[in-house]
Amino acid sequence: MRGLVYEGRGRIRYTEHLSVREPAADEVLVRVAASGICHSDLSVVNGTIEWAAPAVLGHEGAGIIERVGADVKGLAPGDHVALHTLANCGHCAHCEAGRPTRCRFTLGNRTQPFRLGDTPVSNFAATSTFAEYTVVKQQQAVKIDPAIPLDLACLIGCGVLTGVGSVINRANVATGDSAAVFGVGGIGLNVIQGLRIAGAARIIAVDLLAAREAMAREFGATDFIDASKDDAAERIKALLADPVAPHAGGVDWSFECSGSAPGLRSAIASLAWGGTCVIVGTPPAGATFEVPVATMGFVDRGIIGARYGSSRPHRDVPAYLALYRNGALKLDELVTKRYRLDQHEEAFHDLEEGRLARGVFVF
């Protein structure tokens, strides 16, 4: 079968000789129809995220079930499914409480379901959607309406769950709140539309690329700041000045989606009194930053992390697809370009150059 194999930093190649094992008792074999191309995949290739090679990358997929394991319930061959990365156990305290992103079994669960000749090849993020077929745990496959195009449904599995979920599940943004979004790529756009859906009154998009303004506004941004020219935090404080104490102006929420330490510092500096910064982006391993404690503790500011949008996929995926069907959630507009697997060099170059909201591999 066709697939992309990561062979080490800076090296990924197309092959037609990959194979995948049969599903275990609690797994399903999925014929992948489409896979979104996420910056996290690029981060593995460029070394920002450390991952052992060889591996099949990709973690934002949708497809059709081919075979199911003996213990699988509620799924059958022919079902259309959206895939997600949370291979949670289902029985720990966090799973029981409806917090699968905190399940310890969703970390460090690298396996080797693929082979390239005699060489075992590992998965990535428990998913691996840069291949024609993949095997995942049954809880990672969410049955969806066959009428929804699979090259759109695939986007739910990371970009939408992470971006919209960070707003609705983790931050619980209230109607009328103000927010700034740092980094307007695929995740940032979904944070913006999550804020729009939540009823945020002011949504300020911040990016180093001025060309991203039009799309940011299409998804719901009310303002745009070109961070290559302006001090974003100062501009935000000026746009949302406090009528009593101008120096205390800013946003109720900031979302750092670029994974950069300078972006995080600016996101924190843009907060009003009582504001909270949500860390959504993935920085390099070992990245650190400093923040003055007095500017946080004395005025009720906060910093929180958001893993995978604090998602509950079997609740959230159907909910987001319902929002898509009624026009509230944009999926068609997220897809900038579709590619074949053998066009991966072009796809990764376009992503690295900031040309894509989302690129999609179509099989």
pLDDT digits (tens, 9 = 90+) for 139-173: 999 999 999 999 999 999 999 999 999 999 999 99
171 with 147, same domain: the answer is no
- Separation CA 124–CA 110 (nearest Å): 7
45 with 86, same domain: the answer is yes
For 328, phi then psi, to 5°, come to: -85, -30
- Separation CA 324–CA 311 (nearest Å): 17
- State the CATH number of the domain containing residue 238: 3.40.50.720
Within-domain flag for 317: no
341 with 241, same domain: the answer is no
7 with 152, same domain: the answer is yes
Query: Residue 245 CB: number of other CB atoms within 10 A?
Result: 9
C-alpha distances out from residue 307 to 83, 108, 158, 296, Å: 17, 15, 11, 22
9 with 149, same domain: the answer is yes
19 with 107, same domain: the answer is yes
Whether pLDDT at 88 is above 80: yes
108 with 129, same domain: the answer is yes
- State the CATH number of the domain containing residue 110: 3.90.180.10
Query: Residue 325 CB: number of other CB atoms within 10 A?
Result: 13
The first and second tokens of residue 51, run together, are: 């991952």
| pTM higher than the cut 0.85 | yes
148 with 12, same domain: the answer is yes
One-letter amino acid of 216: A
Lowest mean pLDDT among 14-28, 194-208, 295-309: 295-309
- Domain extent for 18: 3-157+331-362
53 with 129, same domain: the answer is yes
Query: Residue 27 CB: number of other CB atoms within 10 A?
Result: 24
Domain count, the chain: 2
Whether pLDDT at 213 is above 80: yes
153 with 294, same domain: the answer is no
Q: If 0-12 CB within 10 Å is exposed, 13-18 middle and 19+ buried, where does residue 234 land?
A: middle
Q: Helix (H, G, I), strand (E, B), or coil: what is residue 206? A: strand
- Separation CA 323–CA 167 (nearest Å): 15
